[in-house]
């Protein structure tokens, strides 16, 4: 790649990064503003009313120890539990399903993949009404399992597709060599196939976690109070009066919710890149 092309791509990436970063910075700036600063008072803000001159942690205290604590903290715990359980179940089931699809030859294999792809494109909003009636009838409404099961319908098809592509890239001869050395089929899968597919497993787990973490439709429709997650809880924030919008508290909650996503990407960045590019080059 010539220097001219490199500089051209670098210049092209600048507006793209600004387009992505500025809304996030605006969210952070609002979380540090008090009610007076949010009124766009020029004497209390700088950079065109973008950043407060005197940042405050009032909004963060509001959601952790203030009046919004009873709404935000339980919702944050529910989000962590629901997303971790959904991710674990989805990855385990997708791992076995993808292994069977990529290694075994049985009738209906293409139908399973096609069905998984069709389900992943199915409109979520169309499932809410029948699930709401069913969950109310069988006692799953406003429960953790009542959210985990619908989340599997979102994450499992995508996980199967991603992991199937990774397992198909692993040479079958390596598994056969392990069996020749005395390993059982389960030992070959656990000690040979799974470590080789680790980048794909990590990539699938992180994408699955993000999908469940950011869901709003199921969270607000299938919960009331006990199992409500953070995306739904933010919609119920109220101000000091009926005429005041809790913009700062909502932005503080959004920043807190974004932190786990950033941490996961930073910690597992190399594995994500390795997983996304696995199989791109043969040989």
| DSSP secondary structure code for residue 240 in this structure | S
Listed by start position, the domains of the chain span 1-56, 63-277
Give me the mean pLDDT over the 195-220 stretch.
85
Do the beta carbons of residue 263 and residue 97 sit within 8 Å?
A: no
Which tokens sit at 188?
A: 């070959």
Distance (Å, rounded) from C-alpha 91 to C-alpha 112? 17
Q: Cβ distance 119 to 153 under 8 Å?
A: yes
- Write out pLDDT tens, residues 240-258: 555 567 888 888 888 988 8
Q: Among 77, 31, 24, 79, which residue's Cα sits nearest to residue 52?
A: 31
Q: What is the pLDDT of residue 203?
A: 82
Q: What is the pLDDT of residue 239?
A: 59
Q: What is the mean pLDDT of residues 190-215?
A: 84
For residue 77, the model assigns a pLDDT of 92
- Listed residue (229, 254, 261, 204) closest to 78, CA to CA: 229
Q: pLDDT of 93-134, one tens digit each?
A: 988 888 888 877 777 777 877 777 777 777 888 888 888 999
Q: Per the structure block, which two tokens stand in for 192? A: 């040979």
Does the pLDDT value for residue 32 go beyond 70?
Answer: yes
Compute the half-sphere exposure of residue 233: CA atoms within 13 Å on the CB side of its CA.
26
**145 pLDDT band (50/70/90 cuts)?**
very high
Helix (H) or strand (E) holding 230: helix 230-233
Choose the most confident range, by mean pLDDT, from 36-40, 57-61, 192-196. 57-61
Helix, coil or strand: residue 72: helix
Is residue 132 within 8 Å of residue 222, measured between CB atoms?
yes
> Given this model, what pLDDT does residue 141 score?
92
Whole-angstrom Cα distance, residue 66 to residue 208?
32
Mean pLDDT of all residues belonging to the chain: 82
Q: What is the pTM of this model?
A: 0.81
pLDDT in tens, 8-24: 888 888 888 888 888 88
Determine the Cα–Cα distance for residues 161 and 121; give it in Å rounded to an integer. Answer: 13
Task: For residue 35, give the nearest of 53, 51, 58 by alpha carbon.
Answer: 58
> Is 261 exposed, middle or buried (CB count within 10 Å of its CB: 0-12, 13-18, 19+)?
middle
Average pLDDT over residues 43-59: 81
Residue predicted with more confidence, 52 or 116 = 52
- Burial grade of 282 (CB within 10 A; 0-12, 13-18, 19 or more): exposed
What local confidence, expressed as pLDDT, does residue 86 receive? 92
> pLDDT band for position 89 (50/70/90)?
very high
CATH for 63-277 (1.10.3720.10, 1.20.1070.10, 3.40.50.10090, 3.40.50.300): 1.10.3720.10
């Amino acid at each position: 790649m010539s220097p001219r092309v490199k500089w051209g791509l670098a210049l092209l990436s600048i507006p793209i990064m600004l387009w992505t970063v500025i809304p996030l910075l605006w969210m952070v700036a609002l979380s540090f503003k008090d009610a007076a600063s949010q009124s766009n008072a020029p004497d209390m803000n700088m950079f065109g009313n973008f950043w407060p001159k005197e940042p405050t942690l009032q909004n963060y205290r509001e959601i952790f120890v203030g009046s919004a604590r009873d709404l935000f903290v339980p919702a944050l715990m529910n989000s962590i539990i629901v997303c971790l359980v959904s991710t674990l179940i989805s990855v385990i089931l997708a791992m076995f399903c993808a292994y069977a699809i990529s290694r075994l030859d049985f009738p209906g294999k293409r139908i399973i993949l096609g069905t998984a792809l069709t389900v992943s494109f199915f409109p979520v909003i169309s499932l809410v009404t029948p699930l709401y009636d069913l969950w109310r009838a069988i006692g799953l409404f406003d429960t953790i399992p009542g959210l985990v099961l619908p989340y599997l319908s979102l994450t499992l098809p995508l996980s199967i597709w991603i992991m199937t592509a990774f397992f198909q890239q692993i040479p079958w001869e390596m598994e056969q060599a392990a069996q020749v050395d005395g390993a059982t089929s389960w030992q070959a899968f656990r000690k040979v196939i799974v470590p080789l597919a680790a980048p794909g497993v990590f990539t699938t787990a992180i994408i699955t976690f993000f999908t469940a973490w950011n869901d709003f439709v199921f969270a607000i429709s299938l919960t009331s109070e006990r199992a409500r997650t953070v995306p739904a809880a933010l919609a119920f924030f109220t101000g000091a009066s009926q005429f005041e919008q809790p913009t700062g508290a909502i932005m503080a909650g959004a920043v807190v919710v974004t932190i786990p996503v950033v941490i996961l990407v930073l910690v597992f960045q190399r594995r994500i890149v390795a997983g996304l590019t696995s199989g791109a080059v043969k040989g």
